[in-house]
Amino acid sequence: KMHKIAVIGGDGIGPEVIEESIRIVDAAGKKHGAQFDWQRLPWSSENYKKTGHMVPPGGWELLQQHDAIFFGAVGSPDVPETVTVHGLLLPMRRKFDQYVNLRPAYLYEGVPSPLKDKAPGSIDFLVFRENTEGEYAPIGGRIYEGMDADTAVQVSLFTRRGCDRILRAAFEAARKRKKILTSITKSNALTYGLGLWDDVANAVAKDYPDVKLRHLLVDAAAMDFVRKPETFDVVVASNLFGDILTDLSAMVTGSVGLASSANINPEKKFPSMFEPVHGSAPDIAGKGIANPLAAVLSSALMLDHLREESCAAAIRQAVAQVLKEGKTMPPDLGGKSKTREVADAVLAAL
């Protein structure tokens, strides 16, 4: 089967890590009988500076014709985030109703954690981040800008439907794993939005009597991600808390250079999008030293979504092998290997 994939390398290290991942996916596909039609879209800050648009006219419709979107990163020091992040990344998550942002946390063998005494595999959980509403609702405004009376409001919007669907996705995942779901809020302080979230969590829990639901405040969760990350199985959190906690989980499992993510529309009414968590990293862009493995592992999440599970498994195993051998490690994991060399090692392991 031929899968049509829209590719947006974007800014900074985005294109570098995405191109390496494409080589790897093609190789895995060749072995396991899957084919990919990659349509590269030049949407980026550079392109914006030339054309005046981040997404060209008809761009969203074009994406809609694809089975998935493979995304690098956007963000550039010389283009405002209102253009890059708010012109492409965040509207994509919302327009395509990619309400599940799945971010796995796993401590691979061969990867040192900054935490003491953590065995390989001991940290192994999934974060389900709500991805369309909550704190990231594009609602708010500012008045008296620059004056003494300067005031801004930023509105978080939570709906029962929005909480229900991400919680159900997380409960389903927990059911297939160790059956422990931790729901993160800060409803002791933020009673309105996150009070609703808690209520919905308790209601949905009734449909999953086999799953243990734990409530945890985000500040305590930040501590527990450091103190005892091995106690988590599936974690579900609002948009902002999911953002913060998944950077933290990336760090305790060694590096954001290994953190993959899937932005999923489970109903498949819209294309889902797969991206490394790390962002455009302008400081190391163009040097060929970015760790491609977060993008490679994101491609594995894409392959799962496309029901090419054997391709996905093969890629994950190849990545695990490269990390375990430790001979081809990128700088963020304490090695000296270049982006291309790390990808070559994965290809060899495939």
Ligand X SMILES: CC(C)[C@H](C(=O)O)[C@@H](O)C(=O)O
Find all residues with CB under 8 Å of 269, minimum gap 6, and list them. Answer: 97
Active site annotation includes 136: yes
Name which of 134 and 271 has its Cβ closer to a copy of itself. 134
Which of a copy of itself, ligand X, none lies near 62, with the C-beta cut-off 5 to 8 A by kind?
none
Q: Taking contact as CB under 8 A, which single stretch among the options 213-221, 314-322, 323-331, 333-341 is the one that binds a copy of itself?
A: 213-221
Q: Which is nearer to a copy of itself, 196 or 313 (CB)?
A: 196
Report d(CA 100, CA 267) in Å as an integer. 11
**Which of 186, 208, 332, 338 is the catalytic position?**
186
52 interacts with, out of ligand X, a copy of itself, none, CB within 5 to 8 A per kind: none
Pairing between β-strand 35-41 and β-strand 2-10 as defined by DSSP bridges: parallel
* Residue with the two structure tokens 């996905």: 312
| Stretch near a copy of itself under the rule CB under 8 A, chosen from 29-37, 53-61, 144-152, 168-176 | 144-152
247 catalytic? Reply is: yes
How far is the C-alpha of 301 from the C-alpha of 3, rounded, in Å?
14
How far is it, in rounded angstroms, from Cα 120 to Cα 110? 8
What are the backbone dihedrals phi and psi of residue 68, each rounded to the nearest 5 degrees, phi first? -165, 165
Q: Which of 219, 223, 227, 228 binds ligand X (CB under 6 A)?
A: 219
Contact call for residue 188 and ligand X (CB under 6 A) = yes
User: Does the protein bind a copy of itself through residue 101 (CB under 8 A)?
Assistant: no
**Candidate residues 227, 268, 287, 307; the one interacting with a copy of itself per rule CB under 8 A:** 227
d(CA 4, CA 84): 24
Q: Is 97 a catalytic residue?
A: no
CB under 5 to 8 A by kind: which of a copy of itself, ligand X, none does 284 bind? none
Q: Is residue 109 part of the contact set for ligand X (CB under 6 A)?
A: no
The two structure tokens encoding residue 145: 């800008």
| Exposure string over 86-110, b if 16+ CB within 10 A, otherwise e | ebbbbebbeebbbbbbbbbbbbbeb
- 133: tokens are 């509403």
Query: Cβ-count burial of 63 within 10 angstroms (0-12 exposed, 13-18 middle, 19+ buried)?
Result: buried
Q: Which residue has the tokens 């992040």?
A: 85
Q: For residues 251 and 51, give the distance between their C-alpha atoms in angstroms, rounded to a whole number.
A: 37
Rule CB under 8 A: say whether 189 interacts with a copy of itself: yes
**Residue with Cβ nearer a copy of itself (185 or 272):** 185
| Listed ranges 102-110, 139-147, 204-212, 308-316: which one lies at the site for a copy of itself (CB under 8 A) | 139-147
**Least distance to ligand X, CB of residue 284, Å:** 17
- CA dist., res. 125 & res. 127, Å (int): 7
- Told to judge if 186 belongs to the known catalytic residues of this protein, a careful annotator would answer yes
Catalytic residue check, 178: no
CA-to-CA separations, 265 to 85, 120, 336, in angstroms, rounded: 19, 31, 38
Residue 133 interacts with ligand X (CB under 6 A): yes or no:
no
The residues assigned a catalytic role are 136, 186, 219, 243, 247
Residue ranges binding ligand X (CB under 6 A): 85, 89, 188-189, 219, 243, 277, 279
Residue ranges binding a copy of itself (CB under 8 A): 75, 81-82, 85-86, 90, 114-116, 135-136, 140-142, 144-161, 186-196, 199-200, 218-220, 222-223, 226-227, 240, 243-248, 250-252, 256
